[in-house]
Amino acid sequence: MKRLVIFILALFCGLGAMAQETTWENVTALTYAATGGKDKGHALQQYMLFDESIMEQNSGVFERYRTFTQEFSQISLNQSIPEGLAALDEQEKELKKMIKEHPELKEQFEEALKGAELARKEFAAYEKPEVNSYSEDPSNLLKDLTRLAVNKKAYTAWRDIGGGLYAVANGRCYGPIEQDAFSRAKFEEGQEYTWGVIDATGREVIPMKHSRITNANEEHDIIFLHSKEKDGRIRAGARGYDGRIRIPFEYDEILNYNLEQQSVALTKNGKIGMLNFDAKQLQPFVYEYASWQGDWLVRKEENGPLGVVSAEGKLVIPLKYKCDWNYENGEMSLQRYDGKLDVYKLDSFEFLRTEPAPEM
């Protein structure tokens, strides 16, 4: 009976965690201001995760944060206004000079001059001289937000991957990053950085030891990753949304995958092969070349004969062609070594006909 009660309590706690509503805040400006940053272009990116109920209970802290962001924006604008006005002044001088030098274009230049003068007035109107300092110490505000954040820390980048999970990164990362970026995230060259997966409570579902998360799909319960192993090498594999390993981390790289057919092409020891999402081998690791065209064009040698592996991982056209030639009207043309073209249906790989060698 006691075990049953514990199980029920654990179940309700688990459901509560799954239903937990969270939100991300980009606190880059705050960390920049709190650390006395000098170059906004090299402000370390920082994102914090908050439980929305905590935000409601501590609304005063977040109101202070909203005030700070408004002040930060206005101060930044005020600092840029003199430089902007100087540029507009220079533009007006140049236009007046052009009017004198090219009287035949006077009307056009005068119109441009009116636009520059109007822009100058509008730009100057944005300035609010009274806003030149923060209403409170940014470092104290940062401490308050950190205290309330999930895990009491910030991440360099994040992405909602569904299932109540977030892919998150740690690293020296500068400049704006889209929240859904994985491999596009630009980290400082030469610096270590790691990706992992957390849930809404901050629990690590997948450890923070991965150099890259290639992609994730909740429907098929798979997350493709590149992991830094104990020997220092980067290896590719995949995990499920519960963290279990679905494809062992013994491959060099993930080339591409087909969600509909649940197949993936990877490299191992320099050779390319295909697996399904449960690591069952669909094609052996014997290919040196593979190009994704909705199906795989493959070669066992760099300049050897070409064949086709379907998205399901089956060798559907033997390795006997020189190259692929054309794709149109639901058909695929492959060039033979005698120059003629063999034409197949794209969806079924049924052989249709042989055509004469195309004129070059």
* pLDDT value, residue 127: 56
d(CA 73, CA 81): 12
Report the SS3 class of residue 316: strand
pLDDT tens readout for residues 52-64? 999 999 999 999 9
What tokens were used for 236? 């590719």
* pLDDT value, residue 115: 75
Smallest Cα–Cα separation from 308: which of 351, 279, 337? Answer: 351
Q: pTM of the predicted model, to two decimals?
A: 0.74
pLDDT tens readout for residues 108-154? 767 777 777 777 676 666 555 666 688 899 999 999 999 999 999 99
pLDDT less than 70: residues of the chain: 1-19, 38-42, 79-89, 109, 120, 122-132, 173-193
Rg (C-alpha) for the chain, rounded Å, is 29
* pLDDT value, residue 2: 38
Extract long-range pairs of 125-134: CB within 8 Å, 24+ residues apart.
126/77, 126/81, 127/77, 127/78, 127/81, 128/74, 128/78, 129/78, 131/71, 131/74, 131/75, 131/78, 132/75, 132/78, 133/75, 134/33, 134/68, 134/71, 134/72, 134/75
d(CA 316, CA 311): 10
